[in-house]
Structure 1
Amino acid sequence: MGFTWGMRLRGASKKKIAPVMSWSESTSEPDITIPPEFQCPISIDLMKDPVIISTGITYDRTSIEKWIESGNNTCPVTNTVLTTFDQIPNHTIRKMIQGWCVEIGSSLIERIPTPRVPLMPCEVYEICRKLSSATRRGDYEKCEEIILRIKKLESESEKNRNCIIENGVALVLCACFEKFSGDDKLTSLLGKILSMLTWMVPIGWEGLTTLASASSFRCIAGFLSSKDDTVRENAALLLKEILSLEETQVHAFAEENGVAAAFLELIRDSVSSSATKSSLTAVSQMVLQKPEIASAFLEIGLVNQMVEMIIDGENSVCERALAVLDAVCETSEGIEEVRRNALVVPLLVKKILKVSEEATRSSVSVILKLCKTGNASAVEEAVRLGAFQKMFLVLQVGYGEETKEKATELLKMMNRQMKVMSDDVDSLVDFKYLKKPF
């Protein structure tokens, strides 16, 4: 026994058609025709969540939202320009549809459940107000209750999540985190806030500045040593965002709280691709903003670890590991440490034009730093590994001006070295035209 979907004309041929479900002749159950007033004018299907728009026409919420999200600003039925995109639940029609589903009592039609009404900005503002009030009072139990409610609302739909993100919840959560960050007994609450903030990134300058306070930063740094890998990953992501701030005290906090060792341990543990990438980005930010912190990283084997990442990591990880080496080479100590690893230059030459534009930029930059600060042997090694040809390709591909300038400088250095290495001077290229990158 089976059934087929069909369409039945109602009245004249120009009138709308109504969906029909019909059993095969072997069954005694009659055909089911969905009443026109229960059909969405867009999909012609039974409405599950009927809503009224500003023109007074009722549609299924999913259908009208797709219509609006596609860039339309008119009513599909009347073609009238919409004065607002608000959608008001049509409870009367919904109840009628639910009653009809029960009345026909067919296995073909399931009763339409009462839909959850999407979160509105005014509701989010009220949630923020209550959370701010509880935070000021130091009422952590009320804060946790509100945070669990936010988490529940977010999990219900993508629309709710976007509404939460767009209406200032992140800033209030940052303030709440800062308020209780000094209490070791509230790690559960703080962990929940940390988890919520990760899906709200980017959380804005004001929120990051709040998290960059001494107590908040130390608390987040402490989570890097958690036994829960998810918590460690969340902490790494937020610290990466905080470290993007160009504020001296942030990087001082990082050095003081052993963040260097914690990040490197997180990278070695390979908790997740996301945690690794966040950690690598944070490390390069720390070294660039506070070069003296490079010593702490070098002492715990940063360069060797980066070489492993470049060899074994996926492209996005490799790109970030190369950026770390470039940052480390901003210091003389870092350059010497990089030079001591015999695999670095071969890997750098190999990765040019193979991973991404950013990876090529970092590779060219590191090679130039090594050649400028070393003796002729550094340039000779680069030439023997094929860097000369790669620099020509970099110029032809059309990367950024900074990268082309560095490639041009390397070509000139390599050309001079090749003249020393070769007896056939006439076969070499005249680089007078390379005064400016092309």
Structure 2
Amino acid sequence: MVLPMSRATRVAGRLMPEIPLLRRDRKEAATRGGDDNDNGSEEVSVPAHFRCPISLELMRDPVTAPTGITYDRESLEGWLARGHATCPVTGRPVRLADIVPNHATRRMIQDWCVANRARGVERVPTPRVPVGDDDAAEALAAVSAAARRGDVIACGAAASRARAIGKESERNRRCLAAAGAARTLSSAFRQLAGEHVDSSAAVSGALGDILAALVVFFPLDEESRRCIASPPSLKSLTSLLLSSQTATAAAIVLREIASSGNRDALDAIARARGMCDALVGLVTRPVSSQATKAALVAAYYLVSSSDVAAARFADLGVVRVVVELLVDADKGTSEKALAVLDAALCAGGAAVDSALAHALTVPVLVKKMFRVSDMATDFAVSALWRLCRGDGAGAASCRGEALRVGAFQKLLLLLQVGCAGLTKERASELLKMLNGSRGSVECIETVDFKGLKRPF
């Protein structure tokens, strides 16, 4: 049944209790010289007609639909973004373009906040006017025009303005994204790529601004990814990875391209001169947590898909780098570093030799089997399995080291606790490999790395 506006508001008010906005204890009231109620607290409740019918919270940016019902903008736009096309209260059709700001209600809410300021209520700020389709088109046109002129600095400034607009609200971001922000920024980057990034901090910063804006409008479509994966773009991207000011945005964009799974893009990245070196450098000399994690994800996809990249990463000592990173890494970094290590060992050759030669490899893998995450457990078991199998002296030494640091007990516990699929299979195989050496090896705790010599 469709409810009239006034009745809908009254029904909403009866169905839910007044929402307490502030509780003040008796001690604070006594300090201010005020009286308190019997239960030692004072509640400031939001009037029913100031609350959004969707979120049931105080409206901060009230807007009115063509049906006459007032909602908070964020709640109504979220409702429409989830695929609904009707007014939540009346059921009549509603379009995003048809909602209008309700300035009268917003001013009433602000006046109410001011009147209750002494009781701890903060005034609702006046919201910014959301960007419209024409505004979005104008902002992106400025980026395209500067790129066509070859004006890197102006293009970077226009991209920064588009980024600022997009970050103001989810509505703005969606509006710019629908207007083609990702394609415009990717195309601009490709047009300006190949400029003297290495020798000009201004050019480097401007291109970094374009990438930072591009991050706001993920995910990228195929055309956008193709622009960034072009040889000139990758050349500039490699240079930007080497600068602490632009490395984070460059790494995040590279991660987006690499994780798309596009074979041509991955091959182009693998062939880009200096790209693998720059990624390893980001892990060795961290710029930010975001940059490190993005570099690890990009490295994982490259090692998994390209023999050329796998060999290059092995030559750069990626195994040593990720093993030493794992010692004190947080959950997210551990998962990504273990993924890179497992992928590198899958490629075999120099990576396996490097892992077997490093004193921390086995203790780190055994330590990371538990208390990180299921994903970390899967990669740690897989990597240890790759190192322990085989009849060579290196594999035999690895099995002995694994027993010494308690791998047998942890694998038993892992199977008891429960794991499935390939991890269960490999954990069982590892137990069989290690069983032959039991009794001749002294086990030690793996809670910490005391007593182990670090090669760094």
Shift, 1:251, TM fit: 4.3
TM-score (norm. length: structure 2): 0.69
CA-CA distance at 1:276 after TM superposition: 1.2
Q: Deviations over 1:350-398 (max 9, x none)?
A: 2112211221112111211112233434333323332223223333344
- Determine the structure 1 residue equivalent to 2:362: 345
Contact 2:270 2:308 survives alignment (8 Å):
no
Q: Which residue of 1 aligns with 2:7?
A: none
Match of 2:236 in 1: 219
Which residue in 2 is equivalent to 1:412?
Answer: 432
For residue 224 of structure 2, the aligned residue among 187, 207, 219 is: 207
Report the TM-score when normalising by structure 1.
0.72
Q: Which residue of 2 aligns with 1:435?
A: none
Where 2:359 maps in the other structure, the secondary structure is coil
Q: Secondary structure at the match of 1:284?
A: helix
RCO greater where, 1 or 2, for CA within 8 Å and sep 6 or more?
2
Tell me by how many angstroms 1:62 deviates: 5.5
Counterpart of 1:157, as a letter, is S
Distance 2:329 2:385 in 1: 24
In structure 2, the residue corresponding to 1:264 is in which secondary structure?
helix
- Opposite residue 89 of structure 1, the aligned amino acid is V
Tell which structure's C-alpha radius of gyration is larger: 1
1:7-65 per-position Cα deviation (integer Å, ceiling 9, x unaligned): xxxxxx99x99xxxxxxxxxxxxxxxxxx9xx647489998755331213445545755
For 1:31, the equivalent position in structure 2 comes to none
Q: Which moved more, 1:177-186 or 1:363-372?
A: 177-186
3-state SS of the aligned residue for 2:90?
Answer: coil
- Against the structure 1 CA distance between its residues 367 and 120, is the aligned structure 2 distance closer, same or farther, given a 3 Å change threshold? same
AA of the residue aligned to 2:402? A
For 2:136, the aligned partner's letter is V
Over aligned residues, Cα RMSD in angstroms?
Answer: 4.2
Per the alignment, residue 89 of structure 1 pairs with 100
Q: Which moved more, 1:210-219 or 1:393-402?
A: 393-402
User: Kindly, what percent of the aligned residue pairs are identical?
Assistant: 37
Residue of structure 1 equivalent to 2:419 = 399
Q: Which residue of 2 aligns with 1:372?
A: 389
| 2:446 equivalent in structure 1 | none
Matched, 1:237 2:252: yes
Q: Is the 8 A contact 1:50 1:93 kept in 2?
A: no
- Relative to 1, partners in 2 of residues 1:400 and 1:132: Cα closer, same or farther, differing over 3 Å? farther
Letter in 1 for 2:306: K
Pick one of 313, 336, 346 that aligns with 1:297: 313
Give, as a single letter, the amino acid of the residue that structure 2 aligns with 1:297.
F
The correspondence of residues 23-422 of structure 1 with structure 2, limited to 5 A, is 40=50, 42=52, 49-59=61-71, 61=73, 79-86=89-96, 87-89=98-100, 93=104, 115-121=127-133, 123-124=135-136, 127-128=139-140, 131-132=143-144, 135=147, 143-144=155-156, 146-184=158-196, 186-226=203-243, 229-244=244-259, 245-247=261-263, 250-251=266-267, 253-254=269-270, 256-329=272-345, 330-373=347-390, 374-375=392-393, 376-418=396-438
State the AA in 2 paired with 1:171.
Answer: R
**Matched-pair contact (CA < 8 Å) for 1:284–1:323:** yes
Indicate how the Cα distance of structure 1 residues 128 and 67 shifts in structure 2: closer, same or farther if over 3 A, else same. Answer: closer
Compared CA separation, residues 57 and 280, structure 1 to 2 (3 A): closer
- CA spacing shift, 1:261–1:41, aligned 2, 3 Å: closer
2:131 is aligned with what amino acid? L
What is the aligned length? Answer: 381
Counterpart of 1:118, as a letter, is P
Partners of 2:336 and 2:124 lie apart in 1 by 50
Q: Which has the larger displacement, 217-226 or 407-416? A: 407-416
CA deviation after TM superposition for structure 1 residue 220, in Å: 0.6
In 1: Cα distance, 2:251 partner to 2:69 partner? 49
The separation in 1 between residues aligned to 2:328 and 2:440, in whole angstroms, is: 34
Task: Give the equivalent residue in structure 2 for 1:429.
Answer: none
Deviation at 1:405, TM superposition (A): 1.6
Aligned AA (1:84):
V
Q: 1: distance between equivalents of 2:52 and 2:272? A: 61
Assess, with a 3 A threshold, how the Cα gap between structure 1 residues 359 and 91 changes in structure 2: closer, same or farther. closer
Match of 2:293, as an amino acid?
Answer: K
Following TM superposition, by how much is the alpha carbon of 1:314 offset from its aligned partner in structure 2, in angstroms?
1.3
Query: Conserved in 2, the CA contact under 8 Å of 1:40 and 1:58?
Result: no
Question: 8 Å contact 1:177–1:193 — kept in the other structure?
Answer: yes
Tell me the equivalent position of 1:27. Answer: none
**Displacement of 1:80 after TM fit?**
1.6
Question: Structure 1 352/150 Cα, relative in aligned 2: closer, same or farther at 3 Å?
Answer: same
Distance in 1 separating the partners of 2:258 and 2:103: 53
* SS at 1:365 equivalent: helix
- Counterpart secondary structure, 1:312: coil
SS at match of 1:51: strand
- Compared with structure 1, are the counterparts of its residues 400 and 300 closer, same or farther at alpha carbon in structure 2 (3 Å cutoff)? same
Taking structure 1 as reference, are residues 417 and 48 closer, same or farther at Cα in structure 2, changes over 3 Å only? closer
Cα deviation code 1:83-110 (max 9, x no counterpart): 0143532578479x59x98xxx9x9999
Check conservation: 1:49, 1:94, Cα contact below 8 A: no
Counterpart amino acid of residue 240 in structure 1? R
- Do the aligned partners of 2:162 and 2:213 also contact (CA within 8 Å) in 1? no
CA–CA distance in 1 between the matches of 2:219 and 2:193? 21
User: How many Å apart are 1:411 and its aligned residue?
Assistant: 2.2
Provide Cα deviations, 1:215-245, integer angstroms capped at 9, x if missing partner.
Answer: 001111110122xx24111111222222334
- Unaligned 5+ residue runs, structure 1? 1-12, 18-35, 423-438
